[in-house]
Amino acid sequence: MSIVEISNIQLLLCLIFVLFTGISSIFLNLGLEKDISIGAIRTFIQLFIMAYVLRYIFKIDNAYLILLISLGMILFAAITIQGRVKERKISYFIPTFLSMVISYMIVTVVVTAVIVQVDPWYKPQYFILLGGMVVGKSMNAVAISLDRLFSEVRKRREEIELYLCLGATYQEATMDILKNSIRAGMIPTINAMMAVGVIFVPGTMTGIILTGADPLLSIKYQIVVMLMLSAATAIGSIIVTYLVMRMCFTSEHQIKID
């Protein structure tokens, strides 16, 4: 089975979809046509740049350099989260970065070295690509968890202060908020696990099948990906919420957020 080539002209035909989306936005007064146009342009530019960069990355045979590239990916993801979560009172960048580094390293190394048993474990075709999935999912989970945490702390400020006045620690006063924040970050991945193979065919499986591989092999890889992402989102959400929640209170257990 060979892959059907897509010419540049055929690729440009996809702009029909962007045109339709933009016209829909104009017709319904959604105000999204500018973002749609910018998003389409960035999609072309960023993915073509990625393709050319990956050609060189896949030739690298140095564990330290691969790990450095991975840290760069995580750093960019943490910066992206800072732009998405509008919170200025609490400086949550470092906890975000640390939580993503820990989830990335634990999950990616276990998958490449223990489960898939890539030789060497840092082989970029596996480590960078699988790690990229971990970063993407962890980024979304962490952003959702943080957004829920900050919004609930503000919404339930009086309730938290009442608990604190009655002698509770900040951990006891915010335990429900902590659980809700972690749960919010994990739900999208859990929902995807419930629907995979029934409602949609996931990207990893589709990509492997398009290369002509046995569908059974693609399923095995997809199972590995789905389960590793569940662990990555859990680790990232748990660590970041615990660290950031501590930052929302003083050493005397006084709430910092207005």
Over range 106-114, report the average pLDDT: 93
Task: Copy the structure tokens of residue 131.
Answer: 């790690």
First to last CA, the chain: 61
The percent of residues above 90 in pLDDT, for the chain, comes to 48
Asked if the model's pLDDT at residue 167 lies above 80, the reply is yes
Residue 220 identity:
K
pLDDT reported for residue 254: 84
- pLDDT tens for residues 50-86? 888 888 888 888 999 999 999 999 999 999 998 888 8
In DSSP terms, 255 is beta-bridged to 249
Task: Copy the structure tokens of residue 8.
Answer: 């540049």
Axis-axis angle for helices 33-57, 15-27 (nearest 10): 150
The verdict on whether omega for the bond into residue 120 sits within 30 degrees of 0, i.e. cis, is yes
Whose tokens are 């898939």? That residue is 116
- pLDDT tens for residues 205-256? 666 666 666 778 878 888 888 899 999 999 999 999 999 999 999 888 888 8
With 0-12 / 13-18 / 19 or more C-beta atoms within 10 angstroms meaning exposed / middle / buried, residue 49 is: exposed
Among residues 62, 71, 51, 68, the alpha carbon closest in space to that of 6 is found at: 51
Q: How confident is the model at residue 23 (pLDDT cuts 50, 70, 90)?
A: very high
CA–CA distance, 226 with 184 (Å, rounded to integer): 18
SS3 (DSSP) at 233: helix
Give Cα 163 to chain centroid, integer Å.
34
Average pLDDT, the chain: 88
CA–CA distance, 13 with 23 (Å, rounded to integer): 16
Distances (CA, A) of 90 to 58, 169, 210, 212: 39, 19, 46, 50
pLDDT reported for residue 66: 92
Over range 35-39, report the average pLDDT: 90
pLDDT reported for residue 200: 59
pTM, two decimal places: 0.82
pLDDT reported for residue 109: 93
Higher pLDDT, 158 or 211: 158
